[in-house]
C-alpha cells in the first residue's frame, strides 16, 4: 500500500517556541493532505485540509495563525505549531489522499509535548 511518513515521531519543546511537523507521501503525489489532532483516548478531529499550491482550509475553531500549514509540493505538507503552550500537547496525525481511488493513507503520527 501507499506510504505516508511523518517526522518527527515525537517532540518535546518549551512553551513559547514553535515546532514544525512534516508529512510526506513517499510513493505517490498528493494534491490534498489532511491534518488531524487526537487527545488521549479520544477520536481524531480534523484540523485542516492542505491543498498543494494554495492556502489551507481550516475547520471551525482551529486558529490558522496558531497552526500554520504549508503544502509546497505534491509530496510534502508541513504543520507548524507556533508559540506552543502545554494545551497544544497532543498527537498530530496527517493523511494524504491517493490520486487513484482517493483513499486516505495516514502517517504514523507525531506526539507533541510542550513543557
Partner 1 sequence: QQQVKQSPQSLIVQKGGISIINCAYENTAFDYFPWYQQFPGKGPALLIAIRPDVSEKKEGRFTISFNKSAKQFSLHIMDSQPGDSATYFCAASHGSSNTGKLIFGQGTTLQVKP
Which residues contribute to the site for partner 1 (CB under 8 A)? 4, 6, 32-34, 41-46, 49, 91, 93, 95-97, 101-109, 111
Phi/psi-derived region of residue 38, left when phi > 0, alpha when psi is between -120 and 50, beta in every other case: beta
User: Which three cell numbers mark 82?
Assistant: 507556533
Closest approach of partner 1 to the CB of residue 72, in Å = 18
Nearer to partner 1 (CB atom), residue 3 or residue 83? 3
Closest approach of partner 1 to the CB of residue 79, in Å = 14
Closest approach of partner 1 to the CB of residue 63, in Å = 19
Amino acid at each position: 500500500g501507499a506510504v505516508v511518513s511523518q517526522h518527527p515521531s515525537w517532540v518535546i519543546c518549551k512553551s513559547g517556541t514553535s515546532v514544525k511537523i512534516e508529512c510526506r507521501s513517499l510513493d505517490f503525489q498528493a494534491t490534498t493532505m489532511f491534518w488531524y489532532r487526537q487527545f488521549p483516548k479520544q477520536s481524531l478531529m480534523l484540523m485542516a485540509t492542505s491543498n498543494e499550491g494554495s492556502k489551507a482550509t481550516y475547520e471551525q475553531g482551529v486558529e490558522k495563525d496558531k497552526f500554520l500549514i504549508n503544502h509546497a509540493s505534491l509530496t510534502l505538507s508541513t504543520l507548524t505549531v507556533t508559540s506552543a503552550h502545554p494545551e497544544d500537547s497532543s498527537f498530530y496525525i496527517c493523511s494524504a489522499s491517493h490520486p487513484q481511488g482517493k483513499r486516505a493513507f495516514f502517517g504514523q503520527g507525531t506526539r507533541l509535548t510542550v513543557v
